Amino acid sequence: MKWGRFMAFLVMVAVVIGLTVGTAMPIAKKIPLGLDLRGGVDLLYQIQPSSGQHITESGKQALLQAVELRVNNLGVASPIIDLEGRDQIRVQLAGVKDQAAAAKTIGETAQLAMYSSAKMDPKTGAPIAPAGKLLATGADLKSNASYVQDPNTGKNEVAISFKDPKKWENITSTYLGKPIYIFLNDNLLTDPVINEKMFTGDSVIYGPQLTTPQECQQLASQINAGALPYPLHLQSETSVGPSLGQASLQATLYAGMIAIILIFLFMIVLYRMAGLIADIALVAYGYLTILIFNGLHVVLTLSGLAALVLGVGMAVDANIITYERIKDEMRQGRSLRSAVKIGNKNALRAIIDSNATTFIAGAVMYWFGQGDIRGFSVALMVSIIVSLLTAVLLSRMMLLSFTNSGVVKRPWWYGVGKGVLKNDEA
C-alpha cells in the first residue's frame, strides 16, 4: 500500500467535503432568486413611437437605460430587463411588493430637465433635487449625445447638441460661470459649470466624474434616454405571488434532492468504490456551480434549477462512460491499474464530444432565445463546463490516486463481477 497516494486521495476528499459543508449554504443564499421562485411581476411593454418617429437601435438602447434607471429607483434587486423582438421590452421584477406602482413608474415617459439650481443635502452638500428655473427639457436636445475626446488634450467628454442654438446661447450667456443641473426623472445626472458662451448649440460636458470612456458613454445614453423618449404601452402583466414562488422553489429542491440521492445510490450500487468517488466529484460539481452562479450574479429561476439537475445527470454520464471503458479494458485482460489509466484516456474523447454537442445546443438557445430560455441555456453551459472540470479532471485524479495507493486490489470495488476477467490483478 502506498500511503502517499492514499493521503493525497483523502486530502482531495476532505477539501471537497470541507468546502461544501462549510461554505456552500452561505454562498447559495447570496444567489438572487428569479420571478418564478421569489414571486413578483412580469411586465411586457410595447414601444410606440410618436408620429413621424422611427425606432432605432440607439434609441432602444437609450430607452433600456431609462427603464433601468426607473427600476433602480424602485429598489428592486437583480431585475431582468430585455428587448424582445423589434419593439417590445420585458421587465421582470422579483420580490416587488407594489406591482401596480412599479408598472406605472416604468411606463412613464422619461423626463430630462435642466435647472438653474438644485436643493442641496444638508449633510453632504450634494445636489439632491431640482430647484430654481427650468432652463430646458429633453425635447430641446438632439438625440445624438455621444462620447468624444478632446483632440488637443485627449480629455474624455460628452458632446451634446441643442435643436435651437439661440436657446442654448441664451442659457450659456445668462449662467456663464455657474453650474446647471441636469436631472433625469428627478435624479441628478450631472451638474456641469458653463465656462463660455456658446453660439452653435453644440457643447461638451467634462469633469472629475467623466474620466473614463465608460462613464462618458453612460452619461450620453442617459441624456439620450431623456432626449428621445419612446412612449411605452403596457401589453401584459403577469403576477406571481410570493407563496406560489416559494412553493415552486420547495417542490423543485425536493425533486432535485430525490434525483441526486437516487443517482448517488445508483453509482455506489453499480460501481461501488468508483461510484463513491464519482459521487464526491458530483458534490464538487454542485459546489463549483453555485460558486460560479454567485460570482457571475446569475439570477436563479426554475429553468436554471432544471438545468442544474440536468447537469448532474450529464456529469455522472461522464463517469459512467469512463467506468465502462475501464471494465472493457479489464475484460481484455489488463491489470486493474492499467485498465484505470487506459480506460480514463480512451473515454476522454467520447466525453468531450458529447458535452461539446450539448454546449453548442445551449449556445444556440442563448443566441436565439429570450427570457427563461436564455436563463436555461446559461445554466446549462455553466453546468457543462463545471462537469468537465469535476467529472473528468477531479474524478480522474481521485480515481488514479486511490487505485495507485493499492488500498483495494479486487476489481469488484470498481463494479466488475466475477468471471469476466482474463487477468485479475487480485
Read off the pLDDT of residues 316-325 as tens digits, 9 standing for 90 and up: 888 888 888 8
Residue whose grid cell is 461522464: 318
Helix (H) or strand (E) holding 60: helix 57-74
The structure's pTM equals 0.63
Stronger pLDDT, 359 or 239, i.e. the higher one: 359
Q: Tens digit of pLDDT for each residue in 85-113?
A: 788 888 888 777 777 777 766 766 556 78
What is the grid cell recorded at 292? 460560479
Strands (E), 206-312: 232-240
Q: Is residue 424 scored above 60 in pLDDT? A: no
**Strand order across the beta sheet in which 181-184 lies:** 127-137, 112-120, 181-184, 187-190
363/58: higher pLDDT:
363
Question: Is the alpha carbon torsion for 202, 208, 212, 218 positive or negative?
Answer: negative
Q: Is 151 helix (H, G, I), strand (E, B) or coil?
A: coil
Which cell is 373 given? 430560455
How many Å apart are CA 275 and CA 415, to the nearest integer? 8
Cα 8 to Cα 82: distance, rounded to the nearest angstrom: 48
Beta bridge partners of 33: 300
Nearest to 200 by CA among 228, 227, 160: 160
Whole-number Å distance between alpha carbons of 309 and 292: 16
Using alpha carbons only, give the angle 345, 351, 355 rounded to the nearest 5 degrees.
Answer: 150
Spatial distance between the Cα atoms of 282 and 42, rounded to a whole number of angstroms: 34
CA 352 from centroid of its chain's CA atoms? 25
Q: Calculate the average pLDDT of the chain.
A: 82
Give Cβ neighbours of residue 247 (< 8 Å, ≥ 6 apart).
Answer: none
- Could you give the CA distance from residue 246 to residue 249 in angstroms, rounded to a whole number? 5
Q: The sheet that has 202-205: what strands, in order across it?
A: 146-149, 156-161, 202-205
Q: Is residue 229 pLDDT above 60, yes or no?
A: no
Q: Which residues of 174-189 are buried (b: 16+ CB within 10 A; e: fewer)?
A: ebeeebbbbbbbeebb
Please give the pLDDT value at position 98: 72
- At 325-367, the pLDDT tens digits run 888 888 888 888 888 888 888 888 888 888 899 899 989 988 8
pLDDT at residue 426, as a whole number: 41
Q: Is the pLDDT confidence value at 419 over 50?
A: yes
Q: What percent of the chain stands above pLDDT 90? A: 10
Closest CA relative to residue 319, chosen from 355, 291, 362: 355
CA dihedral angle for residue 281, residue 287, residue 292, residue 294, rounded to 10 degrees: 170
Rounded to the nearest 10°, the torsion over CA 319, 325, 331, 333 is -110
Q: How confident is the model over 265-287, as pLDDT tens digits?
A: 999 998 888 899 999 999 999 89
Taking the alpha carbons of 276, 277, 280, 286 in that order, is the dihedral positive or negative? negative
CA atoms of 129 and 108, how far apart (whole Å): 19
CA-based radius of gyration for the chain: 30
CA distance linking residue 43 with residue 240, whole number of Å: 12
148 bridge partner residues: 157
Most confident of the ranges 18-22, 79-83, 253-257, 295-299: 18-22
Residue 226 binned pLDDT confidence (cut-offs 50, 70, 90): low
Over residues 128-185, the pLDDT tens digits come to: 888 888 898 877 887 678 889 888 888 888 888 888 899 999 999 999 999 899 887 6
pLDDT at 228 over 90: no
Cα separation, 70 vs 109, whole angstroms: 10
| CB distance 319 to 399 below 8 Å | no
